[in-house]
């Protein structure tokens, strides 16, 4: 798109909203919401009270996961008519496990400016207080709802030397934590629950103990969750992973099974252990 086209459009502002504490709305977010003529909201009824409380007079238009393409077309019309639009989701940052990415892509494709505002996001909020020491993190968002697919997704992540960050709903948290424990074995799990709200909890514990901890009190299974898992150590050649692998191989277990089991027990990377097992056998 040409520079002149960009200049003809008004801007789309991507505006994060609080996760649960109104005071977390930034001053800039408030200013933008008050100044734009249009707010594109994931759920206009849900955002109504927030906008009313802020004295926002902008008209709203719906922009949810089932109408993103039509919403994008309407938003582009407004922008090309010189009317700026603020995009918000129900809570946190639009486009992060929320609708928004398609709208942003379409607006950029149309040659209009997209202006991101920093602000609340459950993943970074949770990570900042997790105490996990991993240098890297991988934000996964929601895992598949079905256990088979979820385990498959988790298996694919098992060798990654980065903390893993998942979103989870309360009705699935027990099943997901059970699958995490069976795929990853010995790692640290940090459970971030109801962040920025009255019952905010940030609890760190060894993954094998997590299911019992959650079951011990039904309140621990309520609310919104960020689950954070320490990353694969990647030290399969020198650490606990190698010791366990050698024991299992000496017991006659097939290479693949031994690597998988040693990875589950120690939290070391399954792929690295498999490579090590092959080289030991060779």
122 binds ligand SAM, rule: CB under 6 A: yes
Using rule CB under 6 A, residue 278 touches ligand SAM: no
Report the residue number whose CB is nearest to ligand SAM: 92
Question: What distance in Å separates the CA atoms of residue 165 and residue 152, rounded to the nearest whole number?
Answer: 16
Angle ∠(83,86,88) on CA atoms, nearest 5: 155
- Counting Cα atoms < 13 Å in the Cβ hemisphere of 18 gives 16
Compute the least distance from the CB of residue 143 to ligand SAM, in Å: 11
Q: What character string, x for contact with ligand SAM (CB under 6 A) and - otherwise, covers 247-276?
A: ------------------------------
CB-based contacts of 198, cutoff 8 Å, min separation 6: none
Verify binding: residue 197, ligand SAM, rule CB under 6 A: yes
> How is residue 175 written in tokens?
């099943």
Choose which of 51, 92, 263, 264 interacts with ligand SAM (CB under 6 A): 92
Q: Does 98 bind ligand SAM (CB under 6 A)?
A: yes
Measured between alpha carbons, how far is 254 from 218 in angstroms, rounded to an integer? Answer: 41
Q: Does residue 244 interact with ligand SAM by CB under 6 A?
A: no
* Of 58-66, 84-92, 150-158, 236-244: span binding ligand SAM (CB under 6 A): 84-92
SS3 assignment, position 67: coil
Q: Which of 75, 154, 165, 226 binds ligand SAM (CB under 6 A)?
A: 226
CB of 126 to ligand SAM, least distance (A): 6
Among 158, 174, 156, 176, which residue's Cα sits nearest to residue 166?
Answer: 176
Q: What's the min distance (Å) between Cβ of 223 and ligand SAM?
A: 7
CA nearest neighbour of 17 among 89, 84, 122: 89
| Residue 192 is a binding residue for ligand SAM (CB under 6 A) | yes
d(CA 282, CA 270) in angstroms, rounded, equals 18
Give yes or no for a contact between 221 and 174, defined as CB atoms under 8 angstroms apart: yes
Q: Which residues bind ligand SAM (CB under 6 A)?
A: 19-20, 89, 91-93, 96-98, 121-123, 167-169, 192-197, 224-226
């Amino acid at each position: 798109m040409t520079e002149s086209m960009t200049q003809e459009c008004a801007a789309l502002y991507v505006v994060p909203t609080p996760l649960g504490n109104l005071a977390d709305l930034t001053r800039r977010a408030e200013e933008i919401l008050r100044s734009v003529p249009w707010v594109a909201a994931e759920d206009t009824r849900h955002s109504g009270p927030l906008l009313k409380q802020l004295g926002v007079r902008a008209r709203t238009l719906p922009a949810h996961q089932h109408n993103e393409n039509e919403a994008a077309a309407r938003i582009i019309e407004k922008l090309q008519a010189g009317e700026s639009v603020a995009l918000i989701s129900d809570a946190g940052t639009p486009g992060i496990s929320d609708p928004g990415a398609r709208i942003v892509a379409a607006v950029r494709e149309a040659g209009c400016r997209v202006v991101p505002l920093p602000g609340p996001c459950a993943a970074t909020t949770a990570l900042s207080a997790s105490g996990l020491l991993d240098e890297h993190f991988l934000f996964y968002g929601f895992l598949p709802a079905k256990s088979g697919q979820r385990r498959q997704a988790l298996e694919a992540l098992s060798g990654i030397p980065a903390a893993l960050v998942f979103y989870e709903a309360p009705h699935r948290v027990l099943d997901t934590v059970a699958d995490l424990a069976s795929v990853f074995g010995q790692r640290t799990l940090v459970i971030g629950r109801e962040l920025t709200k009255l019952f905010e909890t940030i609890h760190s514990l060894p993954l094998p103990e997590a299911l019992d901890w959650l079951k011990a009190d039904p309140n621990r299974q309520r609310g919104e969750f960020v689950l954070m898992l320490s990353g694969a150590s990647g030290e399969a050649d020198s650490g606990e992973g190698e010791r366990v692998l050698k024991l299992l191989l000496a017991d006659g277990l097939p290479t693949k099974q031994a690597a998988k089991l040693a990875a589950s027990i120690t939290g070391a990377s399954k792929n690295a252990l498999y490579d090590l097992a092959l080289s030991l056998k060779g």
